[in-house]
A = this chain, B = another copy of it.
């Protein structure tokens, strides 16, 4: 019998779910329903503003859906009858399904700040028309303020700065940017780099109000300071889009993330959920966490798509792994920071080492690349890593990610077999991940 499978959402999670489903169910009738006519690459959105300059160059092509024989419907699902296994769309379409995957993504958080509704105040929406409006406003602007120094806020700041004709100021509530994602050393390194590149960073400041008549003119801080702004971009985070799930009676958590089990099934066993809209468990504590990363979303989609009519894959937990870069400084984070581990009550040993990223260091283009590894104090288990350096960092953090996923201890990492090359990596004597682990072993021995 031909099965009907419906996927709701057309971002990386929805697309990956559709492709994976097709691989395992070659004869199924697979339909992807999404609201957007065109789909922006979510992580690429900041780069529209300085590097690629038009949203058209940051689209996910529908070719991949066509090639996989996925039916595409541009519409919005407004109700689901779980017992009848049918759904209704905003345009009045009725579809039945045997299995469904929700990949409805996330919403940008909007702070409850006076003036937040003024013209030229934007959040980061995955919407091409909305992005065009931001671009138009930036074209006419002189002073731009980014509120929120997480990695999206920083990427926007750097990209706006690349436009060349803007004064870019970033306001962050906490004592440092990125402080929820990285330990302080990396935060400071990134702030320094962005400052050198011309972004004015104001950490430890709270926005009190956005001021203006029709359009924004100033951002007022709690200390009374008023900063000129023609455009304000709010990058303070995202929340799961569990609206539809909640409305149709699926279990959601306190943040409206759709609750899923280790197989990506919701409280209705015919409905799966993946990506930013679904609940995630911390790999270390097992508690609920929020991770808004396309890469993790895609992994979840690969689990769900294989499990629809029988369990093949299990994803017990999620590890936050991400990277970004500002000019020639790239950074990456995987798993727990030292600070977050301590917040969880975990005793840790952390080690930082750095080395030239080529060898000898006399090779042109050599720069310093450093690794910080965080281990459980008494077991030596690797629970997190942070890294900075050149663009190799984007893949190097995935080595650390692999080690965390494999529950490696410091003593095992010491004898990791790796390849090194003068033009591409640190020297074999100074390979950062291994050397950090060796130092940790000595510390762990001291603590046992």
Contact = CB atoms under 8 A, between A and B. Distances in A.
* Minimum-distance CB pairs A-B, first 3: A394-B424, A321-B419, A57-B362
Contacts of A429: 12, 15-16, 19, 60, 64, 298
Nearest to A43: B422
Contacts of A303: 415
Interface of A: 12, 15-16, 19-20, 23, 41, 43-44, 47, 51-52, 57-60, 64, 293-299, 302-303, 306, 312-313, 315, 318-319, 321-325, 330, 332, 334, 359-360, 362-364, 390-399, 401-403, 405-406, 411, 414-425, 427-429, 431, 434, 438, 442
Contacts of A23: 438, 442
B360 A52 contact: yes
Given A397-B419, A401-B418, A295 B363 contact: no
Contact of A363 (B47, B315, B330, B416): B47
A313 B415 contact: yes
Contacts of A293: 419
Nearest to A430: B64
B438 A20 contact: yes
B424 A395 contact: yes
A210 to B, nearest CB: 29
Contacts of A418: 295, 299, 321, 398, 401
Given A313-B411, A428-B297, A434 B395 contact: no
B423 A391 contact: yes
In the complex, the count of this chain's copies comes to: 2
Contact of A41 (B15, B425, B427): B427
A25 to B, nearest CB: 12
A312 to B, nearest CB: 8
Given A41-B422, A396-B395, A298 B431 contact: yes
A318 B395 contact: no
Given A295-B417, A394-B423, 16 more contacts: A12-B429, A44-B422, A293-B419, A299-B416, A299-B418, A313-B415, A319-B417, A322-B421, A323-B421, A325-B421, A392-B394, A393-B424, A395-B396, A399-B402, A402-B406, A402-B416
Contacts of A431: 295, 298
A103 to B, nearest CB: 12
A419 B405 CA distance: 13
A52 to B, nearest CB: 5
A197 to B, nearest CB: 14
A78 B415 CA distance: 31
A416 B402 CA distance: 8
Contacts of A19: 429
Contact of A419 (B59, B334, B414): B334
A198 to B, nearest CB: 18
